[in-house]
């Protein structure tokens, strides 16, 4: 099956701990994106990457970090510096030159 996988679906962490969210795609897409969604809100862009070994900050990058060592993988680390990390995190990918994005199923992170 082609698509985007995010794991785990639910994640619980204690305050002050870093946590890494996984995003993998087998669509051979060039670009990948991380969004945060809060209840009743739209999506806000955290980081995006157009090619391997390159990424750019989105609108709310503070307290987050990413890497893009492989085309198919774009992990997001939520650091202890993120003031309010509890949210639904969505990963997306896009073929170079195309306009639409394909989304993974999301990871719901709860920090206790």
Partner 1 sequence: SQQGEEDPQALSIQEGENATMNCSYKTSINNLQWYRQNSGRGLVHLILIRSNEREKHSGRLRVTLDTSKKSSSLLITASRAADTASYFCATASDSGGSNYKLTFGKGTLLTVNP
Binding residues vs partner 1 (CB under 8 A):
4, 31, 33, 35, 40-45, 48, 50, 56, 58-59, 88, 90, 92, 94, 96-106, 108
**By C-beta, is 2 or 40 nearer to partner 1?**
40
**By C-beta, is 33 or 74 nearer to partner 1?**
33
* Residue 55 CA neighbour count, 13 Å, CB half: 25
**By C-beta, is 19 or 31 nearer to partner 1?**
31
* Residue 37 beta carbon to partner 1: minimum distance, rounded to whole angstroms: 9
The helix/strand/coil state of 88 is strand
H helices of 1-112, in order, are none
In whole angstroms, what is the distance from residue 112 CA to residue 91 CA? 23
Tokens 């170079």 correspond to what residue? 96
Structure letter (DSSP) for residue 70:
B
Is the Cβ–Cβ distance between 98 and 30 less than 8 Å? no
* Residue 30 beta carbon to partner 1: minimum distance, rounded to whole angstroms: 10
* Residue 33 beta carbon to partner 1: minimum distance, rounded to whole angstroms: 7
* Residue 9 beta carbon to partner 1: minimum distance, rounded to whole angstroms: 9
């Amino acid at each position: 099956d082609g698509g985007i996988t995010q794991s785990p679906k639910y994640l619980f962490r204690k305050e002050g701990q870093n946590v890494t969210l996984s995003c993998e795609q087998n669509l051979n897409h060039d670009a990948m994106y991380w969004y945060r969604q809060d209840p009743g809100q739209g999506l806000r862009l955290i980081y995006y990457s157009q090619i391997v070994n390159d990424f750019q900050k989105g609108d709310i990058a503070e307290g987050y970090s990413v890497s893009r060592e492989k085309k198919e993988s774009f992990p997001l680390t939520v650091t202890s510096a993120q003031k309010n990390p509890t949210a639904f995190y969505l990963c997306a990918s896009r073929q170079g030159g195309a306009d639409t994005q394909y989304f993974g199923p999301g990871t719901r992170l709860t920090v206790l």
